[in-house]
Amino acid sequence: MTRPRRNRRTAAIRGMVRETHITTDNLIYPLFLVDGKGVKDEIKSLPGNFRWSLDKLLPEVEECMELGLRNFVVFPAVPEELKDKTATYSYAADNFYLEAARVFKEKFPESTLISDVAMDPYSSDGHDGLVESGRILNDETLPILAKMSVAQAQAGFDIIAPSDMMDGRVGAIREALDAAGYIETAIMAYTAKYASAFYGPFRDALDSAPKAGDKKTYQMNPANRMEGLREAMLDEEEGADYLMVKPALNYLDVIALLKENTTLPIAAYHVSGECAMLIAACQNGWLDFEQAMPETLLSIRRAGADVILTYFAKEYARLAQGLEVSL
């Protein structure tokens, strides 16, 4: 008689036949950067995560590196007075985000530093594209994104990550990077980024919500699956090096679809709202964090994600080394 339970009998046997593995190499830790000094401001809607000034961020990164976590994506929280309709601060010579990248890579040259490319952190309208008479202008946005990307590559970012969902932006950015001599700077395209209800804590962290309207004319409809594959084909054709699905948990089928139809690495963003729900359940004693968190990340990896952007990256690294977690 065939008995599948034979392969579950002991921990050693279960480990031997384990199909899916996660290491810190598969994880990217999102971090929020503010200008100034001495700032470590907890995000109320995402407990355990903070807005950091660079002097406070660097020791946090050093601790992560010691845990074997080497991959980071950094998002800037830009003061309102530096924002305008055309996001000119995004490539300004004195941009604190770009200055921080230079210091970051000088101190941690062996790290992978990933940027964010979109107008919304720098736009007085709070949208990812250029706004005119209430409309998001696609083609007019592309030169702005390209200029922003070149400035980020020049600052030392290893991977440029356009999160804006403008049509054609991967090709425009690739062309601009190559023309500026940054042929080795990779592009991680937010390929299937959905108009999701799960971005709330992220927008709290950056104060980047749209001033009017919503993002449904450029972010994808949550009802659509095959559209994600269409976006993937276009991004790959335009020169993307990674394809991302965002959010992750509610879109595991999209992650699997892209994984089955491309040879490019698949990234999945385990977004702020998804993490906040798990944190709340654990803080209320409804779930055990040390069991629920790894299982959650495992589901994303099992669906086909090669890399996972998650606010739990550091906690996973601590847990993997048998250290106490803070949540």
Q: Is residue 13 in a domain?
A: no
Q: Which domain holds residue 58?
A: 20-320
Residue 129 falls within a domain, yes or no? yes
In a domain, 86, yes or no: yes
Specify the CATH number for the domain of residue 186: 3.20.20.70
The question of whether 44 is a catalytic residue gets the answer: no
pLDDT in tens, the chain (327 residues): 999 999 999 999 999 999 999 999 999 999 999 999 999 999 999 999 999 999 999 999 999 999 999 999 999 999 999 999 999 999 999 999 999 999 999 999 999 999 999 999 999 998 999 999 989 999 999 999 999 999 999 999 999 999 999 999 999 999 999 999 999 999 999 999 999 999 999 988 887 778 888 899 999 999 999 999 999 999 999 999 999 999 999 999 999 999 999 999 999 999 999 999 999 999 999 999 999 999 999 999 999 999 999 999 999 999 999 998 877
Residue 2 counted as domain residue: no
Asked if 257 and 229 touch (Cβ cutoff 8 Å), the reply is yes
Residues contacting 177, CB < 8 A, separation 6+: 149, 150, 153, 160, 183, 185, 187
The reply to whether 211 belongs to the active site is no
- Which amino acid is it at 298? L
Q: Looking at 56, 83, 193, 314, which residue is catalytic?
A: 193
Number of domains present in the structure of the chain: 1
Q: Which of 56, 83, 215, 246 is catalytic?
A: 246
